[in-house]
């Protein structure tokens, strides 16, 4: 039995080798289909993992409450309208909800920073020492804010890496003063952070966070030096706001407590429903939604790529039907010499399987080089067309495809099945030929 299949395989390969260009073009459909399955799933997996990484960086055990500027119809036309989170609400949440392990108040203000003749725009962030751990900020030199410095309302600050490079090019920033013209305050530099990538925007309630232009000071210092009423110059005019806290980040005792705690928080802050001036973001729920979306996206992309395999299978069937017509006399001679219908079926079926297997194998090779191929293409575009590259979305600029291991055997298995399914009809058509009619064929 094995010898019979081996000889049939030899004969099939020999028949295909007689027409190399036709065989190559026939395999091309399967090749493209298999490579498409692997590439599309790898790209979708890369995008999904990046989205999940961005959400996970917020912390699966955290609840983020953001102050949101109310709609214009909610603002008072006579003056500045207070809005957003308040410090007494922070104390109320911590004291009444037992599943809250800790809470981080955050206040953010746009400011100018100066050192000698250098002036830059950035964000002044009032925070507590826990802020660095929650946002995954790492200290390059010096130290981050301490509880003692926050308690004593000291005029100290920690610089983001980009701020340090711009304000102090080629210098050591530690213990040097940074001047804030709007409040006429000096802050002594006690630390410099490592570079931190920006976080993506999450839905419509949590904007993207760019940490590169930040200067961090104790939140009690900010409250004392600047206060809650802030005037800002925008487009040649002044705008003001009264805001106590931009954000409260709550850390729960365990991940299992997140959803229950979030419900309690929303119930406790119902007084903001009328003003619509806060948003509650639960990263755990967003992470679960992202994983569900990933599965749906991968199934959709897989179905799109599978269409290429079906098209490739149709191409195999068309070529094999044409081959049957061309080899009618050969079939008649084999039948006249004693070949059974099963032998004819096996011969043509082996040829289609060979086309599918070789096409699938080369498609896998092309699929696994997805990451270096995209990286090379991206580098070429970046070097030769920098303006075009800069105009691309950030997700495209930083896209890192991730091969889904399951996609390789699935794509290869489908290619073989497609070859068998679409090769059966031509094989049976060849086997049903009458030997006498076949021998008469010219």
With 0-12 / 13-18 / 19 or more C-beta atoms within 10 angstroms meaning exposed / middle / buried, residue 391 is exposed
Q: Can you tell me the distance from the alpha carbon of 392 to that of 37, in angstroms, rounded to the nearest whole number?
A: 24
pLDDT, tens only, 70-122: 887 777 666 677 888 999 999 999 999 998 888 999 999 989 999 988 999 99
Asked if 154 contacts 121 with a C-beta cutoff of 8 angstroms, the reply is: no
Cα separation of 109 and 27, whole Å? 62
In sign, the C-alpha dihedral spanning 96, 102, 105, 106 is: negative
Residues 119/121/122/123 CA torsion (nearest 10 deg) = 110
Q: What are phi and psi of 158, to 5 degrees?
A: -120, 135
What CA–CA distance (Å, rounded) separates 182 from 240? 13
* Nearest Cα to Cα of residue 13 among 296, 286, 357: 357
Largest CA-CA distance found in the chain, in angstroms, rounded? 106
Q: Name every residue whose Cβ is closer than 8 Å to that of residue 317 and which is 6 or more positions away in sequence.
A: 422, 423, 425, 426
Q: What is the pLDDT of residue 315?
A: 75
Task: Give the separation between CA 381 and CA 326, rounded to whole angstroms.
Answer: 48
SS3 of 166, please?
Answer: helix
pLDDT tens digits for range 183-195 = 889 999 999 999 8
Question: By C-alpha distance, which of 332, 337, 358 is closest to 13?
Answer: 358
d(CA 83, CA 243): 6
> What is the rounded CA–CA span in Å between residue 218 and residue 435?
94
Nearest residue to 358 (alpha-carbon basis) of 27, 66, 79, 130: 27
Residues 6+ apart with CB under 8 A from 84: 67, 68, 243, 244, 245, 246, 277, 278
**Alpha-carbon distance 271 to 253, whole Å?**
26
pLDDT score, position 204: 45
Separation CA 39–CA 85 (nearest Å)? 46
State the alpha helices, DSSP H only, in 135-196.
147-151, 161-167
Q: In whole angstroms, give the CA distance from residue 214 to residue 441.
A: 84
Cβ proximity of 435 and 75 under 8 Å: no
Residue 142 pLDDT: 92
Between the alpha carbon of residue 396 and those of residues 44, 51, 359, 401, the distances in Å are 12, 13, 30, 10
Q: 3-class DSSP state for residue 243?
A: coil
Tell me which residues of the chain have a pLDDT lower than 70: 1-19, 51-52, 54-59, 76-79, 198-208, 231-239, 285-291, 302, 305, 324-332, 334-335, 337-339, 393-396, 430-431, 433-442
Neighbouring-strand partners of residue 349:
none
Contact in structure between 351 and 11 (CB atoms under 8 Å): no
8 Å CB contact between 306 and 363: no
Q: How far apart are CA 149 and CA 333, in angstroms?
A: 97
| Angstrom distance (rounded) from CA 134 to CA 132 | 6
Would you say how long the chain is, in residues? 442
**What pLDDT does residue 92 have?**
92
119 in Cβ contact with 112 (< 8 Å): yes
Burial class (CB in 10 A: 0-12, 13-18, 19+), 57: middle
pTM higher than 0.85, yes or no? no
């Amino acid at each position: 039995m094995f010898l019979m299949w081996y000889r049939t395989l030899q004969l099939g390969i020999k028949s295909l080798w007689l027409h190399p260009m036709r065989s190559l073009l026939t395999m091309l459909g399967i090749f493209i289909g298999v490579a498409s399955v692997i590439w599309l799933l790898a790209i979708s997996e890369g995008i999904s993992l990046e989205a999940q990484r961005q959400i996970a960086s917020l912390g699966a055990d955290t609840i983020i409450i953001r102050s949101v500027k109310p709609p214009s119809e909610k603002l008072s036309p006579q003056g500045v309208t207070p809005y957003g989170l308040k410090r007494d609400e922070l104390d109320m949440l911590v004291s009444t909800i037992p599943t809250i392990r800790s809470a981080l108040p955050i206040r953010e203000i746009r400011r100018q920073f100066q050192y000698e003749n250098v002036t830059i725009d950035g964000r002044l962030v009032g925070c507590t020492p826990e802020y660095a751990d929650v946002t995954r900020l790492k200290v390059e030199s010096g130290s981050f804010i301490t509880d003692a410095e926050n308690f004593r309302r000291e005029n100290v600050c920690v610089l983001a890496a980009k701020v340090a490079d711009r304000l102090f090019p080629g210098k050591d920033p530690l213990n040097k003063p940074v001047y804030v013209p709007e409040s006429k305050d000096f802050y002594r530099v006690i630390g410099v952070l490592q570079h931190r990538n920006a976080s993506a925007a999450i839905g419509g309630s949590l904007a993207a966070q760019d940490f590169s232009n930040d200067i961090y000071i104790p939140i009690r210092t900010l409250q004392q030096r600047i206060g809650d009423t802030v005037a800002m110059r925008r487009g040649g005019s002044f705008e003001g706001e009264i805001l106590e806290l931009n954000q409260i980040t709550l850390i729960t005792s365990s991940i299992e407590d997140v959803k229950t705690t979030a419900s309690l928080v929303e119930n406790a802050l119902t007084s903001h429903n009328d003003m619509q001036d806060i948003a509650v973001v639960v990263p755990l729920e967003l992470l679960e939604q992202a994983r569900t979306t990933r599965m749906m996206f991968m199934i959709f992309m897989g179905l799109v790529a599978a269409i290429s395999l079906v098209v490739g299978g149709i191409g195999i069937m068309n070529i094999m039907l044409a081959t049957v017509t061309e080899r009618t006399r050969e079939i008649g001679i084999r039948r006249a010499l004693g070949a059974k219908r099963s032998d004819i079926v096996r011969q043509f079926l082996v040829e289609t399987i060979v086309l599918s297997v070789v096409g699938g194998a080369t498609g896998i090779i092309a699929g696994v080089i997805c990451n270096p191929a995209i990286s090379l293409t991206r580098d070429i575009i970046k070097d030769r067309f920098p303006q075009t590259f800069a105009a691309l979305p950030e997700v495209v600029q930083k896209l890192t495809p991730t091969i889904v291991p399951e996609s390789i055997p699935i794509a290869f298995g489908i290619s073989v099945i497609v070859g068998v399914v679409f090769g059966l009809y031509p094989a049976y058509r060849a086997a049903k030929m009458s030997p006498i009619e076949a021998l008469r064929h010219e």
